[in-house]
Structure 1
Amino acid sequence: MYKLSDNIVQNIIDLEYSRQQSELEMIASENYVSKDVMMAYSNVFTNKYSEGYPGKRYYGGQEYVDQLEVLTQKRALDMFGLSDDDWYVNVQPLSGAPANLAVFLGLLKPGDTILGMDLSAGGHLTHGHPLNSSGIYYNIVSYGVRKEDYLIDYDELLSKALDNQPKLIIGGFSAYPREIDWKKFSDIADQVEDKYGYRPILMADIAHVAGLIAGKVYNSPFPYFDVVTTTTHKTLRGPRGGLIYCKKQYQADINRGVFPGIQGGPHEHIIAAKAVAFGEVISGQFSDYAENVVKNAKALAEKLSEKGWHVITGGTDNHIVLLDVTSKNGSSTGIGGKIAEKTLETIGISLNKNMLPFDQRKPMDPSGLRIGTAAVTTRGFDENTIRYVAELIDQALMNYDDDSVLSELKSEIKNLCEKFPLQY
């Protein structure tokens, strides 16, 4: 790989490269891009300022920028089998949070009511958290999950939709391990329309499962929703960025929400990398990857359950496993998510502490962990390998205060990584 003349920065990059080579990334929102995607980041489009949209820019010299963006839009639609007769996609959002904010800005007025999944139930900050702009500028009503099984409470969702008359309803999550019944959202919107004479806008945030939907191993919201947002750097294995899909009638408002609403010039060099990543998705081999991501997550959940850990909802339908680390086989472990995260980081597994539904602990030391299989699947892990990782996780958590055991486990992780090296 190219070496910088700035030795200080290059040294930090080298250290991070070594960390990634010798440790496992199991943060559900992370993945490894291909060498081609990484190379596409560094190109001459980084020199270009391109405010506006293809054919309507505020600067000159945009011929090839327009070609690039149109190509990226076409590939973005092709990933999900969408026709440009019905759907439009904006490829300029810098990430998922700006994409969601742009939708709100384009389609809503300050004070309008949004009905979204509560963060503590598995939602996202941009779905209405009071410290996020979504919660500051809009009237937020939240729905959650049922206590008996931690699955989305669609009855509560319907009740709150009928009682609060939301302008927009969000389906999607950052920490929910099961399928979403997208059609139920559409049915609920129909019932609001029957009662009040208007239909709420339906927005699906598929940031976590976009790659699984593209790979046809997770059901799709596109037949039922008006707007769909996603990041490009999770299960899609693309660069860090975002996308907004919308029905054609919302195109002008969405575009204004992105530019000039919240962004100036788009990052065209990142859009080039998006195009490469989307090309990989539609190449025909991506579905095998998506299928293996889910198989690995199921194997991980099953093995951890066998070890006596409480896996939230009893398993997973996607790449996410939510684990309660406060007890095992009904007995207290003496730890929470904070210690569990740090313990696993010590042996070379990166993941994140996470609030669980109805959690009685504090957000910075919650009861759970969120574990993802997208990145390790990219690395080549199969179900047997992921079961071995589950064994190591179990041993680490049960010996969190034993440095000698943790040192041995760190060596095991390093040896495992050497068998599945990154491809750059």
Structure 2
Amino acid sequence: MSTDQTFYGSDFGALSSFDPDIAGVLLSELDRIRGGLQLIASENMSSPEVLTALGSTLSNKYAEGYPGRRYYGGCSEVDKAEQIALERCTALFDAEHANVQPHSGASANQAVYGAFMKPGETILAMSLPHGGHLTHGSKVSFSGKWFNAVHYGVDKETENIDYDQVTALAREHRPKVICAGGSAIPRLIDFEFFRNLADEVGAIFWVDAAHFIGLVAGRAIPSPVPWADVVTFTTHKVLRGPRSGALVCTAEHAAALDKAVFPMMQGGPQMHTIAAKAVNFKECATPEYAAYATQVIANARQLATSLGEHGIRPTTGGTDTHLSLHDLQGVGVTGADAEVRADAAGIVLNKNAIPFDPQKPNVASGIRVGTPCVTTQGMGTSEMVTIADLIATAVIKGDADPGHAVSQQVRAEVSELVTRFPAYPRP
């Protein structure tokens, strides 16, 4: 266990004395992050400043409502924090309106349904097996249980969004909402196409930008904000903020979405998290963050290319974003096996279905890898070549047993790499 307790502040000693069990988990998690390669595309490493706001006294305050319109007294200070977050969010994304109260990306998505749809009405969105998200109409989600979901997918040859299919389905079903975005889409999305199609069929155009909004904040990819009626997102992926959600929208839909967040879908907001979002938005407005976002993409492209050279084929032929999706069928390994073999070697990634996957989702034929964390640690494209070598060795030649010779060899090389590029460097 790490003896570096300074990361958690001067009060950590008191926590350690009162509750050594939880204090031990905090330190062990810090050691875990520092000791391996974190390649989960939906994760990042928030700054100590963001984490400081999360651990603040703002956690104590109940503040149902919005700044200046609360249902509780004593909200003068939290009103300031939320107003700062709102101003920074709208400025960062050049948006007309923002809501920073959603507790998560799923909560923000739920507000879209609440603002624009009635149970039984139709949404057109990307299918989960082709890269969509549970909240886009999956049968196991509220979105699929309460609404009629029609799904589009990708073209079998290009593995990119089948825009002809999107058009045909929209014209046939006349959905109330059309959604673009998902959790495993490596390529840029044609927002102008979706805007024009939504106008044609009289639909609301919603972009779920949870995965790539940080790249938008860093001006590294085109923004969906000028095209969409509403853009929802998480704040903890490339954006590198606290684990939470937010949305931006046009002024026309501001009132409906605010009412859908509160009081329709949520009660009291988490004011400590909103303060942490404000800190994060300030970080994202800096030249340093813009350089970071550009490097995330460069690293993702290199990692995708290098894995492909090992026979771990990138779907769509590569990536334009922070993640790549890889087909393992050519190396004879399932996604489930790849995940546990990589983990045994100190590499954290996730199994993932690929388009037209012959395997069940809990087995999968692919893996998804992302570069937000390793880029936060300062790694560049040359390190991505090394990481691809390590992944390929662990996945193709390794074993689920950490004691396996290959697993031990790769873990030693991983340890050497993360020592040179540490997560949360010690002071």
Quote how far apart the aligned CAs of 1:76 are: 0.6
Match of 1:72 in 2: 85
Q: Which amino acid aligns with 1:238?
A: G
Does residue 319 (structure 1) correspond to residue 328 (structure 2)? The answer is no
1:87-236 alignment to 2 at 5 Å?
87-192=96-201, 199-236=202-239
CA distance in 1 between partners of 2:397 and 2:66 (Å): 55
Deviations 1:287-316 (A, max 9, x none): 100000000001001111122221101100
CA distance in 2 between partners of 1:274 and 1:30 (Å): 16
Match of 1:357 in 2: 355
Quote how far apart the aligned CAs of 1:221 are: 1.0
Match of 1:195 in 2: none
Quote how far apart the aligned CAs of 1:96 are: 0.2
Quote how far apart the aligned CAs of 1:326 are: 2.2
- Answer yes or no: is the 8 Å Cα contact 2:225–2:249 preserved in 1: no
Deviations 1:26-50 (A, max 9, x none): 0000000111111111111111000
Q: Which amino acid aligns with 1:179?
A: L
CA distance in 1 between partners of 2:406 and 2:326 (Å): 22
Match of 1:386 in 2: 384
Q: Structure 1, unaligned stretches of length 5 or more?
A: 193-198
Match of 1:39 in 2: 52
Match of 1:292 in 2: 295
Deviations 1:256-283 (A, max 9, x none): 1111111110000001110001000012
Deviations 1:53-95 (A, max 9, x none): 011100001111111111000111111133xxxx111100001
Does residue 22 (structure 1) correspond to residue 23 (structure 2)? The answer is no
CA distance in 2 between partners of 1:242 and 1:191 (Å): 30
Quote how far apart the aligned CAs of 1:423 are: 2.4
- Answer yes or no: is the 8 Å Cα contact 2:45–2:376 preserved in 1: yes
Partner of 1:327, secondary structure, is helix
Deviations 1:121-167 (A, max 9, x none): 10000011011000011110000000001010111001000000100
CA distance in 1 between partners of 2:330 and 2:141 (Å): 32
Match of 1:196 in 2: none
Q: Which amino acid aligns with 2:261?
A: V
- In percent, how many aligned pairs have the same letter? 44
Q: Which amino acid aligns with 1:80?
A: F
- Answer yes or no: is the 8 Å Cα contact 2:315–2:327 preserved in 1: yes
Match of 2:4 in 1: none
Q: Which amino acid aligns with 2:166?
A: L
CA distance in 2 between partners of 1:58 and 1:309 (Å): 55
Deviations 1:360-408 (A, max 9, x none): 1000000000000011100111000111000011111121238101111
Quote how far apart the aligned CAs of 1:409 are: 0.6
Q: Which amino acid aligns with 2:343?
A: E
Match of 2:5 in 1: none
Quote how far apart the aligned CAs of 1:190 are: 2.8
Q: TM-score under structure 2 normalisation?
A: 0.94
- State the Cα RMSD in Å: 1.0
CA distance in 1 between partners of 2:142 and 2:413 (Å): 44
CA distance in 1 between partners of 2:268 and 2:380 (Å): 41
1:206-355 alignment to 2 at 5 Å?
206-328=209-331, 333=332, 335-355=333-353
Partner of 2:231, secondary structure, is strand
CA distance in 2 between partners of 1:141 and 1:295 (Å): 34
Deviations 1:324-357 (A, max 9, x none): 11213xxxx2x20001000001111111100000
Q: Which amino acid aligns with 1:256?
A: K
How many matched pairs?
409
Does residue 420 (structure 1) correspond to residue 421 (structure 2)? The answer is yes
CA distance in 2 between partners of 1:216 and 1:35 (Å): 24
- Answer yes or no: is the 8 Å Cα contact 2:218–2:290 preserved in 1: yes
Q: Which amino acid aligns with 1:6?
A: D
CA distance in 2 between partners of 1:423 and 1:11 (Å): 17
CA distance in 2 between partners of 1:143 and 1:423 (Å): 41
Match among 369, 372, 375 for residue 370 of structure 2:
372
- Answer yes or no: is the 8 Å Cα contact 2:134–2:141 preserved in 1: yes
- Answer yes or no: is the 8 Å Cα contact 2:339–2:349 preserved in 1: yes
Q: Which stretches of structure 1, 4 residues or longer, exceed 6 Å deviation after superposition?
A: none
CA distance in 2 between partners of 1:340 and 1:421 (Å): 25
CA distance in 2 between partners of 1:219 and 1:251 (Å): 23
Q: Structure 2, unaligned stretches of length 5 or more?
A: 1-7
CA distance in 2 between partners of 1:316 and 1:12 (Å): 36
Q: TM-score under structure 1 normalisation?
A: 0.95
CA distance in 2 between partners of 1:309 and 1:413 (Å): 19
Q: Which amino acid aligns with 1:106?
A: A
